[in-house]
Amino acid sequence: MLGIVLVILAAAVVMFALDRPRMDYVALLVLCVLPLTGVVEIQEALSGFSDPNIVLIVALFVVGEGLVRTGVAHRLGDALVAAAGHRASRLTVWLMATVCLLGSVMSSTAVTALFIPVVLRICRQTGRAAGRFMMPLSIAALISGMLTLVATAPNLVINSELIRRGEAGFSFFSFTPFGLPILVLGIVYMLVARRWLPDDAPPLDGFTKVRPTLRHWVEQYQLAGREHRLRILPDSPLADQAIVDSNLKENIGANLVAIQRQRELLQPTAKTVLQVGDVLLLDFVAPEADIQSWALETRLEILPLTGGYFTDHNQEIGMAELIVPADSELVGKNLAQYGFRTKFGISVIGLRRGVRALEADLKNEILQIGDTLLVIGPWKAIRKTLTFGTRDLLPVHLPVEMEDVVPVPEKLPHALAALALMLVLMISGLVSNVQAALAACLLMGACGCLDFERAYRAIDWKTVVLIVGMMPFSLALQRTGGTELASEFLVQWTAGTGTRGMLAALFLTTALMSMFISNTATAILMAPVAMTIAQQAGASPYPFAMTVALAASAAFMTPVSSPVNALVVTPGGYRFWDFVKIGVPFTLLVMVVVVILVPWVLPP
């Protein structure tokens, strides 16, 4: 029977390597075929769906979605920009540290997808090539799997194998003594190795060729000359006045787009009362001398405005391009007659006729069929206009930044509370890890961080099915003697080299397997082998299990080793060999660290 099981395993590995058919389909094939051999029963093959670790993985996907939807992850990205500035070395250090921190409690794939637009935004602001930062991003995301028990699926798979064999399993921070040194090593390594990465890949590759950005519109519509930022000084007559009484339009023809109050960007209404220190974002056309004269008269401080302003505030304020169709009531009217701001809560700040953006005072411009209007306002108002708006205007383009807008930023404290509760329960051991994660999911749902529909969509069912489908192989190989055969081969191969030699061979075998199949599937196959080697050597299973877990996360060598690597290929402008020349030496360095540290921290 061992031969049949090995043939099925080899076929699965080949299909994984070719990515034909898709991985979850292969896993379902295994679930269907393996019970036909008689080695495992159908109930045993399907038992993975009831495994607590599978439920834990599902719950962690939901927790990660809650962190994204409430803006926890985006706040970390903004903090990264503020801390790193424009220095490439500092940016690399802060980027890798931040990604690792977040990846230790949520999916590394989700973290990578989240930080790709953050890195692209930084590259646009600094004029640097995205290729210099995308690989440090992916390496940090993979290292994050080495920091905590719940950071990645292979850790949970191996922990489940330990518990199944009657061992106590790993604690939440069992991985941290190994992950932190490897993180430091990774940061130092990438500070040196990033010079070997492509520096000619445009920062916007593959992400903004189809859809425009806010910065693009600022340049296209020449908003830098139309939009103005002015701060209300203590002795200004505008202070403590409602907008309806401020006569901004009458005095200088200005349209108040937004109010920046401390760190919050407010959407103004007629009853909004202006305060000292408020920064007014105004849209109007006037000679520079008139603007300075009016600012001096009303005690307003003129502040600089660049295209980056809109990008920096893209969570609060958005833009969209709308076109005037042939049957629109706007044809032959101007914006003042239509009452655009009153109807939709957004303002028109740009008008393009053909390929030319008009520079005239827009409120008096007579609109024609085919005119393209650039509107600005809160994202909620823009979405409402597009969804329930009017047949008088049709959407043409939405900016790339709209994909990154946080849907429920007001629920951020609730998401942090749910995350803190989960971590406290996991670390304290008061309840099982799966109960702690489920409690966090329920709390996020009860607080409105996400609903059931979005929670279900957040789950990567492909990964779940892959793990469950490959689980029966572990039992089949044990019953047919496959794990004993593999472990005996590794023991004989490393004879005379001691524990560290066996750990090195185990790490290398696991890392090489991860080049061709997913690291989760590799962990499922190698966990019983590691346990058997420990048993044959009369040693503790913990150092061997830990070595497999760390090696499964060390998928640095090819772009197909992990979904994390695949995500950064296009925005980084990488080729296959870029990963080989960076990943292979780093994998060997990680192996050396693991072989030295593991027997010291976890004596065999």
Mark whether 297 and 328 lie in a shared domain: no
Domain boundary among the residues 349, 370, 400 is at: 400
Higher pLDDT, 497 or 11: 11
Question: Contact, 108 vs 142, CB < 8 A?
Answer: yes
Give the pLDDT confidence score for residue 66 in this predicted structure: 87
Q: Is 88 exposed, middle or buried (0-12, 13-18, 19+ CB in 10 A)?
A: middle
- For 410, residues 6+ apart whose C-beta sits below 8 A from its C-beta are none
Q: Band of the pLDDT at 164, cuts 50, 70, 90?
A: confident
Give the pLDDT confidence score for residue 188 in this predicted structure: 96
Mean pLDDT in residue range 540-552: 94
Mean pLDDT in residue range 504-525: 81
Q: Is residue 39 part of a domain?
A: no
- For 502, residues 6+ apart whose C-beta sits below 8 A from its C-beta are 490, 491, 494, 533, 537, 544
Mark whether 378 and 458 lie in a shared domain: no
Q: What percent of the chain has pLDDT over 70?
A: 88
Higher pLDDT, 57 or 587: 587
Higher pLDDT, 189 or 528: 189
Selection from 320, 318, 315, 314 nearest residue 389 by Cα? 320
Q: Is residue 290 part of a domain?
A: yes
Q: Is residue 270 part of a domain?
A: yes
Starting at the earlier edge strand, list the strands of the sheet with 300-303.
Answer: 264-266, 255-261, 279-283, 227-232, 300-303
Give the pLDDT confidence score for residue 570 in this predicted structure: 72
Q: Band of the pLDDT at 204, cuts 50, 70, 90?
A: very low
State in Å, rounded, how far the first CA of the chain is from the last one: 33
Give the pLDDT confidence score for residue 210 in this predicted structure: 53
Give the pLDDT confidence score for residue 13 in this predicted structure: 74
User: pLDDT tens digits, residue range 381-404?
Assistant: 787 777 766 678 888 887 876 766
Instruction: Say how far apart CA 48 and CA 118 lie, in whole Å.
Output: 37
Residue given tokens 């004989």 in the structure block: 492
Mark whether 360 and 418 lie in a shared domain: no
Residue 208 has pLDDT above 50, yes or no: no
Mark whether 76 and 184 lie in a shared domain: yes
Q: Is residue 14 part of a domain?
A: no
Domain boundary among the residues 376, 400, 424 is at: 400
Q: Band of the pLDDT at 441, cuts 50, 70, 90?
A: very high
Instruction: Say how far apart CA 340 and CA 513 lie, in whole Å.
Output: 61
Mark whether 198 and 271 lie in a shared domain: no
Q: Is residue 165 part of a domain?
A: yes
Mark whether 107 and 249 lie in a shared domain: no
Cβ count near 495 (within 10 Å): 10
CA torsion sign for 105, 109, 110, 116 is positive
Instruction: Say how far apart CA 193 and CA 581 lie, in whole Å.
Output: 9
Q: Is 446 exposed, middle or buried (0-12, 13-18, 19+ CB in 10 A)?
A: exposed
Instruction: Say how far apart CA 502 and CA 510 lie, in whole Å.
Output: 12
Q: What is the mean pLDDT of the chain?
A: 82
Mean pLDDT in residue range 537-563: 87
User: pLDDT tens digits, residue range 296-342?
Assistant: 888 999 887 655 566 566 666 788 888 888 888 888 888 777 777 77
Q: Which two tokens stand for residue 399?
A: 């900016």
Higher pLDDT, 94 or 249: 94
Q: Is residue 5 part of a domain?
A: no
Residue 594 has pLDDT above 90, yes or no: yes
Domain boundary among the residues 296, 312, 328 is at: 312
Give the domain CATH number at 351: 3.30.70.1450
Give the pLDDT confidence score for residue 206 in this predicted structure: 41
Q: Is residue 27 part of a domain?
A: no
Mark whether 306 and 184 lie in a shared domain: no
Instruction: Say how far apart CA 153 and CA 520 lie, in whole Å.
Output: 6
Q: Which two tokens stand for residue 602?
A: 């976890």
Give the pLDDT confidence score for residue 439 in this predicted structure: 94
Helices and strands, counts by H and E, the chain = 28, 10
Residue given tokens 């066996």 in the structure block: 502
Question: Contact, 468 vs 86, CB < 8 A?
Answer: no
Instruction: Say how far apart CA 428 and CA 407 lie, in whole Å.
Output: 32
Mark whether 460 and 548 lie in a shared domain: yes
> pTM here?
0.65
Residue 203 has pLDDT above 60, yes or no: no
Q: What is the tally of structural domains in the chain?
A: 3
Instruction: Say how far apart CA 272 and CA 327 lie, in whole Å.
Output: 36
Question: Contact, 469 vs 30, CB < 8 A?
Answer: yes
Mark whether 576 and 457 lie in a shared domain: yes
Tell me, rounded to whole angstroms, the distance of Cα 517 from its chain centroid. 23
- Note down the domain range covering 513: 46-210+411-604
How many residues in the chain?
Answer: 604
Mark whether 597 and 496 lie in a shared domain: yes
Going from the C-alpha of 4 to that of each of 10, 64, 229, 523, the distances in angstroms are 10, 40, 73, 21
Mark whether 496 and 390 lie in a shared domain: no
CA torsion sign for 577, 582, 584, 585 is positive
User: pLDDT tens digits, residue range 481-504?
Assistant: 876 777 677 777 776 678 888 899
Q: Which two tokens stand for residue 291?
A: 């603007």
Mark whether 325 and 424 lie in a shared domain: no
Mean pLDDT in residue range 363-384: 83
User: pLDDT tens digits, residue range 241-269?
Assistant: 888 888 776 666 677 877 888 767 677 77
Pairing outcome for strands 255-261 and 264-266: antiparallel
> Which of helix, strand or coil describes residue 257?
strand
Q: Is residue 28 part of a domain?
A: no
